[in-house]
Structure 1
Amino acid sequence: MCNLYSSTLPQEAMRRLFKGMTDLAGNLEPGRVYPDQMGAIIRHADDDLELVRSRWGLPSPPSVLKTARDPGVTNIRNLASPHWRRWLGKDNRCLVPVSSFAEPIKGGNQWFAPTDDRPMFFAGVEVRDWKSVRKVKDGETTDDLYAFLTCPPNAEVKAVHPKAMPVILMEPDEWQAWLDGEDAKAMQRSLPDGALQLIAEAR
Structure 2
Amino acid sequence: MPINPYTDAERNAVYRAIYERRDMRHFRPDPIAPAILQRLLNAAHAAPSVGFMQPWRFIRISNFELRKHIHALVEQERICTAKALNEHEDEFMKLKVEGILDCAEVWIAALCEAREQHIFGRRTLPEMDLASLSCAIQNIWLAARAEGIGMGWVSLFEPAALKTALAMPEGSHPIAILCLGHVDSFYDKPLLEQQGWAERKNLNDLLFENSWNTPCP
Q: TM-score range by the shorter chain?
A: under 0.3
Q: Which has the larger radius of gyration?
A: 2
Structure with the bigger percentage of strand: 1
- Asked which structure has the greater RCO (Cα within 8 Å, sep 6+), the reply is 2
Give the TM-score, by structure 1 length.
0.26
Structure with the bigger percentage of helix: 2
